[in-house]
Structure 1
Amino acid sequence: MTDKEKNLASNSYSADNIQVLEGLEAVRKRPAMYIGDIGEKGLHHLVYEVVDNSIDEALAGFCSDIRVSINEDNSITVWDNGRGIPVDFHEKEQKSALEVVLTVLHAGGKFDKGTYKVSGGLHGVGVSCVNALSSYLRAEVRRQGKLYMQEFSCGKPLHDIEVLGDATDSGTTIIFKPDESIFITTEYKYDTLATRLRELAFLNAGVRLSLTDLRHKKDDGSFRSEVFYSEKGLEEFVRYIDSSKEALIDDVIHIVTEKQGIPVEVAMTYNTSYNENIFSYVNNIHTIEGGTHLTGFRRGLSRTLKKYADDMKMLEKVKIEISGDDFREGLTAVVSIKVAEPQFEGQTKTKLGNNEVMGAVDQAVGEALGYYLEEHPKEAKIIVEKVILAATARYAARKAREMVQRKSPLSGGGLPGKLADCSSKDAAMCEIFLVEGDSAGGTAKQGRDRGFQAILPLRGKILNVEKAMPHKVLESEEIKNIYTALGVFIGTEEDSKELNIEKLRYHKVVIMTDADVDGSHIATLILTFFFRHMRPLIERGYVYIATPPLYLCKKGKFEEYCWDDRQRQAFIDKYGEGNENAIHTQRYKGLGEMNASQLWDTTMNPEHRTLRQVTIDNAAEADHIFSMLMGEEVAPRREFIEDNATYAKIDA
């Protein structure tokens, strides 16, 4: 769209379109209510809110380029070439529309159905919230041949809107600095922002997004920067997610259509793994709890595949009943829909509730997949054979699970022999440490608080579940012990893959391994198991990683535990006046090198320890990384290690 066309279109997008719902007062008092938290997650959410506004312009057909910069002082600049936020006078509020958008919560064009048919920002709290939580915000608008500017502090305007000069294009630039008095941290992570921008590029084919980090110059004088652009959208997204997996079929089945007035885009393929990975989005919002669009996709997939297999008489000799789960083993899919008025529900308000969506997605998937199977009989046969193998393996896994549960009743007597349980029965108060090795497990048992801390030693490296069939996972002694100790099992019903999470015996599951390469590998194996087989525990915030110290530094009567080289250097500077040789440093390569009281003081005592909570901010990116780290393909793993070598330190 040319600038002239944008200017004509912008005539229908004016102050009259801006509707005010409520004021801003509570945002600074209770910021977590609006952005989730005041830590790292909330900090990055500010950027997403601003970028979402630019994406909404792209969805409306007025924006093709969005540029994000992390500035030297950890402020953020977001530039776009959309229509520009309206600047004309707002009659009801008696101020410019720009000031209304930036100072009134839930004020914006997206509440007026004629301005935006579809909006991702509807789910958020708007740029006004970003303004309220920024010590400084500057808005520049290029619109109708003029460059406008207004500055704010903590949500309040510093002056009226000004005209700085002429503009040859249109768009909006927002520069903001998060308020240090509100946020625990104000340091932005490049990789976190890059992951979201990459996701948005896949979800919005044809929109160019870029990220530049101006905080550190490279040796060649340039800055770290990436451009995210996808020509084929979800097809490329699925290939990216599956890039570390062995493909079962070469094709990605890509569906772009509209059913019952609802735009539906789906991309799907199959790999040789035993995991189902479906990622669903509504108006670019990741619906982590699924909803009606996901139900519609699953229904359309199962119905169409089963009908094809029946018509081809491929199931005649199969004695086991095929279930819905079997059709999705080894499936990677992304489902993205656009809805004018999404209704969200569920614990995190990320579950779609619009009933009309189910039939639309079901119909879209059924039609397109049906055509694909008829036109690709070779690939169709491979997929159905995979489904039959999945059903056979599921039956074997069910038998294995029943054996585990029969041998390990959860009345108490069936708990693993190695488990040193705690005396409390209140799951919300209890925590369990999964400890690497019997030796460290013994030390942890001596050092723990028996009232609320349980210890389960794990022998060696547990099974790599990324490469194992489901029934093989349940045959692993260490994994059986984890299931039994935690008290959760996958249901024994034919169709159930759900954990009976209400039976969970501990609301803190702490992975405690040595601070060396082997320990990191074991922790990654355990995390892979939780991600693939107990993901609800991660999603509910129950999984943590312990952080034992790396050093004990001593100088005379002064001694201090140090968790990294920076802390160690600070001790050397303080007590050794910079002379490393003046300090006695004990390097802990393993948990077993600490006695019980040291392990308690540094790693297990809630008053002094540091636990890192495991979260999934982006499930698609997490899936990609776990597959790459723990899968069969060596090349992507080597490339990842080389790219991240500067962030890792390996002891000889």
Structure 2
Amino acid sequence: MIENQASEKYSAEKITVLKGLEAVRKRPAMYIGDLGKRGLHHLVSEVVDNSVDEALAGHCTTINVIFEKNNSVSVEDNGRGIPVDIHKTENKPALEVVMTVLHAGGKFDKGSYKVSGGLHGVGVSVVNALSEKLTAEVYRDGYVYAQTYERGDVTSKLIKTGTTKRTGTKITFLPDHEIFNAVEWEFDIIADRLRELAYLNKGLEINLSDFRKEETREEGFKFKGGLSDFVKYLDGAKTPLHNKIITINKEDGAVPVDVAMRYGENYSDSILTFVNNINTIEGGTHLSGFRSALTRGMNSYGNKNKLLKGSKGEKITLSGEDFREGLTAILSIKVAEPQFEGQTKTKLGNGDVKGIVDAVVYEGLSDF
């Protein structure tokens, strides 16, 4: 018999209701993974993701990320700017709603964004909740607007601070030392993610600057070749078996599929998969579709050209593992309603995506 250790009466008054962003501050790891290095740097990614979503929607060409001298981080883009007009149901500026309400944002309106990569719409409000201080500046409709926050709470009304001809959004935040084990930014961690995003979004310019030390460190990323350049970067000094990179770019069932791949003399394979710019390190249905198409396509090509024969001249079929040997490949897809397993989005679960990717990649390999 199990003895009940909780002797206090369990009644309605024991039910805790967390309002606003209190839930995020109470259980931050549920939203960003952990409170160490990974979780800290994930904050930057969440803000940058919002800017990249503007690029995906065709409204942003440049993103600037800055490590400020006081250890805060600024992320600025030249997108449309977060709306500042009064939200009808919340009766407060839309910017304030986006910054202080979970699951609020334009990503839930497919007229504003066809696809998006933010963390289930909670990204920027989570960053706000976990920041000691945050300032949001919006360049829109000829004016510069600004509003400040502390640990998720509004500390100033939305005000006009000037006029401008540009559009965009700038978020500057200082992570809360009460939440994180240490606020120590690593330039290379952010640079690697920004480089990755620039490869995935051909032509998008992303700049990173670090003003924390006397000597400013800067790095910029912009790739005209997109995924093809990404494959070359990953291959590094490897010797390729063929110079021309195999590329596939097609939309099937409102799911754009983008692939770049090349074989090298090495034995190991490197296949990276992305959904809406998110690195799905655990793979998922899109990876399954790619592997299936690769195996079928290569076996078909080999048999058609009489390259796959047994000792007696009979047709043989090789395994998928055989065809992945020495392969460097990038698979990037866009899905309007992605179903991810886990809050940090590491595995795709959309069942229909497997067949779509399989069909597109198989057809692309057949054409090649």
**TM-score by shorter chain over 0.5:** yes
Where in structure 2 are the equivalents of 1:27-38 lying within 5 Å?
A: 27-38=24-35
Where is the helix percentage greater, Structure 1 or Structure 2? Answer: 1
Is 1:186 aligned to residue 183 of structure 2? yes
TM-score for the superposition, normalised by structure 2? 0.91
Root-mean-square deviation (CA), in Å? 1.5
CA distance in 1, matches of 2:346, 2:118: 13
**Equivalent in the alignment of 2:8:** none
Q: Residues 385-444 of structure 1, C-alpha deviation per residue, up to 9 Å, x if partnerless?
A: xxxxxxxxxxxxxxxxxxxxxxxxxxxxxxxxxxxxxxxxxxxxxxxxxxxxxxxxxxxx
**CA positional deviation for 1:173:** 0.5
Q: Does 1:145 align with 2:142?
A: yes
Which residue number corresponds to residue 291 of structure 1? Answer: 284
Partner of 2:322: 326
TM superposition shift of 1:317: 3.1
In structure 1, stretches of 5+ residues that fail to align are 1-21, 373-652
Partner in structure 2 of residue 451 of structure 1: none
Shift in Å at residue 346 of structure 1?
A: 6.4
Cα distance in 2 for residues equivalent to 1:308 and 1:335: 21
Equivalent residue for 2:341, pick from 337, 340, 345: 345
Q: What is the alpha-carbon distance in structure 2 between the residues aligned to residue 316 and residue 289 of structure 1? A: 35
CA distance in 2, matches of 1:194, 1:84: 24
Aligned partner of 1:647 in structure 2 is none
Q: Which position in structure 1 is the counterpart of 2:201? A: 204
Q: CA deviation at 1:291?
A: 1.1
Corresponding residue number in structure 2 for 1:4: none
Q: 2:165 matched to 1:168? A: yes
Aligned mate of 2:36, from 36, 39, 42 = 39
Are positions 1:117 and 2:110 aligned together? no
Task: Quote the residue 1:96 is aligned against.
Answer: 93
Change (3 A) 1:318 1:169: farther
Q: In structure 2, what is the equivalent of residue 354 of structure 1?
A: 350
CA offsets 1:598-629 (integer angstroms, 9 cap, x no match): xxxxxxxxxxxxxxxxxxxxxxxxxxxxxxxx
Structure-1 residue corresponding to 2:152? 155
Partner residue, 1:228: 221
- Distance across 1 between alignment mates of 2:184 and 2:230: 29
How many angstroms apart in 2 are the aligned matches of 1:311 and 1:321?
A: 12
Contact 1:65 / 1:207 at 8 angstroms: preserved in 2?
yes
Partner of 1:132: 129
Give the structure, 1 or 2, with the largest relative contact order (CA under 8 Å, sep 6 or more).
Answer: 2
Residue 300 of structure 1 deviates from its aligned partner by 1.1
Looking at structure 1, the residues matched to 119 and 342 of structure 2 have their Cα atoms a distance apart, in angstroms, of 17
Q: Which ranges of structure 2 fall in alignment gaps of 5 or more residues?
A: 1-18
Bigger Rg, structure 1 or 2 = 1
Aligned-pair CA distance for 1:124: 6.1
CA deviation digits over 1:544-586, x for unaligned, max 9? xxxxxxxxxxxxxxxxxxxxxxxxxxxxxxxxxxxxxxxxxxx
Distance 1:323 1:140, change over 3 A: same
Q: Decide whether aligned partners of structure 1 residues 130 and 347 sit closer, same or farther in structure 2, where only a CA change above 3 A counts.
A: closer
Q: Secondary structure at the match of 1:216?
A: coil
Letter in 1 for 2:58: G
Say yes or no: does 1:239 pair with 2:235. Answer: no
Distance 1:56 1:342 in 2: 14
Aligned match for 1:248, one of 241, 244, 251: 241
After TM superposition, list the pairs within 5 Å mapping 1:451-490 onto structure 2. none
SS in 2 for 1:33: helix
Q: Which residue of 2 aligns with 1:14?
A: none
**2:202 partner amino acid:** A
Relative distance call for 1:169 and 1:349 in structure 2 (3 A) is closer
Residue 121 of structure 1: SS of its match in structure 2? coil
2:211 match: secondary structure: strand
The DSSP-based 3-state class of the residue aligned with 1:217 is coil
> Displacement of 1:322 after TM fit?
1.8
Encode CA deviations 1:353-374: one digit per residue, 9 max, x unaligned: 11221122112211221222xx
Secondary structure of the residue that 1:241 maps to in structure 2? helix
Could you say if the C-alpha distance between residues 124 and 249 of structure 1 is closer, same or farther in structure 2, counting changes exceeding 3 Å?
farther
Partner of 1:504: none
Contact 1:49 1:124 in 2 (8 A): no
Native 8 Å contact 2:102 2:121 kept in 1: no
Q: What's the CA shift for 1:23?
A: 3.5
One-letter amino acid of the counterpart of residue 366, structure 2: G
Question: Contact (CA 8 Å) 1:110, 1:122: kept in 2 or not?
Answer: no
The answer to whether the Cα contact below 8 Å between 2:98 and 2:104 also exists between their aligned partners in 1 is yes
**1:264-294 deviation line (CA, Å, top 9, x unaligned):** 1000000111112111000011111111111
Asked if structure 1 preserves the Cα contact closer than 8 Å seen for 2:132 and 2:151, the reply is yes
Distance 1:339 1:321, change over 3 A: closer
Q: 1:267 aligns with which of 253, 260, 277?
A: 260
Q: How many residues align?
A: 347
Asked if the contact 1:58–1:82 (Cα under 8 Å) also holds between the matched residues in 2, the reply is yes
Of the three residues 272, 276, 292, the one matched with 1:279 is 272
- 1:302 corresponds to: 295
- TM-fit CA distance, 1:114: 1.8
SS at match of 2:289: helix
Matched AA of 2:156: H
Name the amino acid aligned to 1:307. Answer: S
Distance, in Å, in 2 between the alignment partners of 1:346 and 1:98 is 28
Secondary structure in structure 2 of the residue aligned to 1:299: helix
Distance 2:284 2:348 in 1: 4
Q: Which amino acid aligns with 1:118?
A: V
